[in-house]
Amino acid sequence: MDFMVESLETPALTKAQLADMLFDQIGLNKRESKDMIDAFFDLISKSVVDGQDVKISGFGNFQIRTKAPRPGRNPRTGEPIPIDSRRVVTFHASHKLKDQIQG
């Protein structure tokens, strides 16, 4: 199945545009398309928040990483400020996606 994005009005691909593509190219009704896209992203979000890695074959991996506390500083005043530890999401593109980007 081949998906084509004809034109994007904005530089980002939105969930609404993805739902429209499902409607146009697969034939799902608009409500089913929106629900499917929402469920897909909810599943990814919930999995990452729960600490599970999400691997999408041919696209990439989403992982949660814990950053250690570190010293920082206020750029306006130069005053030292401690930065607490925090969890961040990282994305690593697959080799297949990287190869497509490089042409």
Amino acid symbol at 9: E
Domain 53-103 in the same topology as domain 12-50:
yes
Amino acid symbol at 5: V
Predicted pLDDT of residue 27? 84
Amino acid symbol at 76: R
pLDDT in tens, the chain (103 residues): 555 555 555 578 899 999 999 899 988 889 999 999 999 999 999 999 999 999 999 999 999 999 999 999 999 999 999 999 999 999 999 999 999 999 8
CA pair distance 68, 83, nearest whole angstrom:
9
Query: What is the CATH number assigned to the segment(s) 53-103?
Result: 4.10.520.10
Query: What is the CATH number assigned to the segment(s) 12-50?
Result: 4.10.520.10
Predicted pLDDT of residue 7? 55
Show me where the domains of the chain are located: 12-50, 53-103
Strand 70-73 and strand 60-67: the pairing is unpaired
Q: Of 94, 10, 98, 24, which Cα lies nearest the Cα of 59?
A: 94
